[in-house]
Amino acid sequence: TSARLTVNPQFVVGRIDRRLFGSFVEHLGRHVYDGIYEPGHPSADDEGFRTDVIELVKELGVSTVRYPGGNFVSGFRWEDSVGPREGRPRRLDLAWHSTETNEVGLHEFASWLDKIGSDLMLAVNLGTRGTLEALDLLEYCNIPGGSTLAQQRIDNGHPAPFGVGMWCLGNEMDGPWQLGHRSAEDYGKIASQTAKAMRQMDPSVRLVACGSSSAHMPTFGEWERTVLTHAYDDVDYISCHAYYEERDGDLGSFLASAVDMDAFIETVVATADHVKAVKGSSKTIDISFDEWNVWYITRFEGVDKIEGIDNWPVAPRLLEDVYSVADAVVFGSLMISLLKHADRVTSASLAQMVNVIAPIMTEPGGPAWRQTTFFPFSITSRLARGIALDVRVDVERYSTKEYGEVPLVDAVATHDAESGHAAVFLVNRSVDAPVTVTVDVSALGEVALLETHTLADEDLQAKNTLAEPERVGVSPNGTAALSDGTLTVTLPAVSWTAISLG
Ligand code: AHR
């Protein structure tokens, strides 16, 4: 099989916002405790953070990090997580049936972010709390001084404001599992009211209204329309969340998961633009795809559940998915989907980062290692700079149970005018055949092949584990060749590839 595409800097989709390479840290399972924070670990720094994890997170290349949840945030009292540690309460976390010790809170997390060089994106609790508590948190974080809450922050050891720019107005409020789950009408009203109040305090904040928890929610579409009808003027983004998994051994459909993500994004864009038209607004709402990943959620539903009135463990092993080669290929294709929509998806968070459906795993007292999904993220984050380009792939289609006829190859390109570098990201969804791709790169002028990386394996189920942490990685693609403005490369069956030129 063969495919053709064109990389031309004039075929602009949109500028790639660095926020597209964000991630997400929730107080959930072993993400914070025994993940990023383990005071007794040999690599722990003076604040108890694992420096081996810090190094991996830096290599991963994450921009903004969403915190502290997720479902967790809908029962969270932010005041519990600041001030002297000895005085912090132990609270029941109803979302994950665990105990939150509050040993790591806002200040500690902000300090960790400084170490990894990323920005904080905070979610406020609009499940069991309201506008006033959101305002209090904003005041504590962003007001330089002169008020009681700003002074509290200063007294707690952070004289400068945290200057949090991105704020989520609650989490997955459309989900019946969410503490304080609301109807679209009720949520739209409180989101609008809270957003207005927050802007009254700090007009510079960027605000995200909750969209749908998946494109398959029964309220999808109507939820976005109703919420934005209330909050359009008050917010900057509407969120999307999506998780994919292989179901019933249907690899063909799983490999086409990005088709669902494409449709999800395009439908939310259409809905937001519909509200824009109805309101006669000149403002455009962007998407914050602030939870996306491969997640074997059906497995979690079956096995991982913690129950019992007397059973609220601290940092239990939860959602510790171990990712395969096939998972990483799908993951890479989800990043292609985000880039293909860079004009409207201007913020995104990989859910999550360490131990919990994560690209990085840790063992208490032991090593930290990269899951298969680490590679497409770190390479895309490093190489996808400047402008995202539409490449118009010409390739055969294959038939899937879930999504009908789907292109065998999906791709996107990027071009950074400043450095003159370009990159092409490709996925071959064929389960049994390689595809040879011919890329017209003549519009780039004189360029050379800089890097090629392919993630593929004879064993699609191969994984990186504690016993074998480096079983899967990326390799240079020796088939890539460039001559006379034409790049050719062969993509193995079920593979993800990145190529940079410059
Ligand atoms: O990322 C895991 C969970 O998935 C988050 O807490 C929630 O927002 C979503 O349902």
Mean pLDDT of 323-342: 98
ipTM score here? 0.99
Cα–Cα distance, 177 to 156 (Å, whole number): 35
Residue 500's pLDDT band (cuts 50, 70, 90): very high
Phi, psi (deg, nearest 5) at residue 151? -65, -35
Q: Is the pLDDT of residue 373 over 70?
A: yes
Cis peptide before 352 (omega within 30 of 0): yes
Ligand 1 in reach of 351 Cβ (< 6 A): yes
Q: What is the pLDDT of residues 191-232, one digit of tens each?
A: 999 999 999 999 999 999 999 999 999 999 999 999 999 999
User: What's the Cα-to-Cα distance from 482 to each of 13, 58, 289, 441, rounded to whole Å?
Assistant: 25, 32, 35, 9
291 catalytically annotated: yes
Work out the pLDDT band at 300, boundaries 50, 70, 90: low
Burial 362-389 (b: 16+ CB within 10 A, else e): beeeeebbbbbbbbbbbbbbbbbbbbbb
Q: Which amino acid is at 482?
A: L
Position 301 pLDDT exceeds 80: no
Q: What tens digit of pLDDT does each residue of 416-435 get?
A: 999 999 999 999 999 999 99
pLDDT band of 297, cuts 50, 70, 90: confident
pLDDT for res 221: 98
User: Which residue, 329, 326, 323, is CA-closest to 426?
Assistant: 329
Q: Using an 8 Å Cβ cutoff, are 472 and 454 in contact?
A: no
Segment 336-355 mean pLDDT:
98
Q: How far is the CA of 419 from the centre of ligand 1 (A)?
A: 38
Mean pLDDT, residues 89-95: 98
Instruction: Point out the ligand 1 atom lying closest to the alpha carbon of residue 213.
Output: 10
383 near 414, Cβ under 8 Å?
yes
pLDDT tens, 116-135? Answer: 999 999 999 999 999 999 99
Residue 29 has pLDDT above 80, yes or no: yes
Residue nearest atom 6 in ligand 1 by C-alpha distance:
70
Q: Which two three-digit tokens encode residue 389?
A: 């380009």
The finding on whether 171 has its CB within 6 A of some atom of ligand 1 is yes
pLDDT higher than 70, residue 369: yes
Q: What percent of the chain has pLDDT over 70?
A: 99
Region 248-269 average pLDDT: 98
pLDDT at 303: 65
Q: Answer yes or no: is the C-beta of 321 below 6 A from any ligand 1 atom.
A: no
Q: What average pLDDT does range 333-345 have in this prediction?
A: 98
Quick one: which of 2, 21, 160 has its CA closest to 486? 2
Q: Which of 172, 222, 396, 458 is the catalytic position?
A: 172
Q: What sign does the dihedral 465-469-471-473 (CA atoms) show?
A: positive
Check: CB of residue 416 under 8 Å from CB of residue 390: no
State yes or no: pLDDT of 4 exceeds 80: yes
Check if the beta carbon of residue 437 is closer than 8 Å to that of residue 488: yes
Token pair of 127, please?
Answer: 């499940």
Query: In this structure, which residue's CA is closest to atom 4 in ligand 1?
Result: 70
Q: How far is the CA of 247 from the centre of ligand 1 (A)?
A: 19
Mean of pLDDT values over 46-74? 98
Which of the listed residues 25, 26, 168, 212 should we mutate to test ligand 1's pocket, taking the one with most ligand atoms within 8 A of CB?
26
Residue 47 falls in the annotated catalytic set: no
Name the residue type at position 394: D
Q: What is the pLDDT of residue 298?
A: 80
Average the pLDDT over each of 206-210, 302-306, 460-464 and give the range with the smallest value. Answer: 302-306
What confidence score (pLDDT) does residue 112 get?
98
How confident is residue 28, by pLDDT bands cut at 50, 70 and 90?
Answer: very high
Q: Within 13 Å and on the Cβ side, how many CA atoms surround 20? A: 30
Q: How far is the CA of 174 from the centre of ligand 1 (A)?
A: 12
Rounded distance between C-alpha atoms, residue 337 and residue 242, angstroms: 12
Encoding tokens for residue 49? Answer: 């953070």
Per-residue pLDDT, averaged over 364-370, amounts to 98
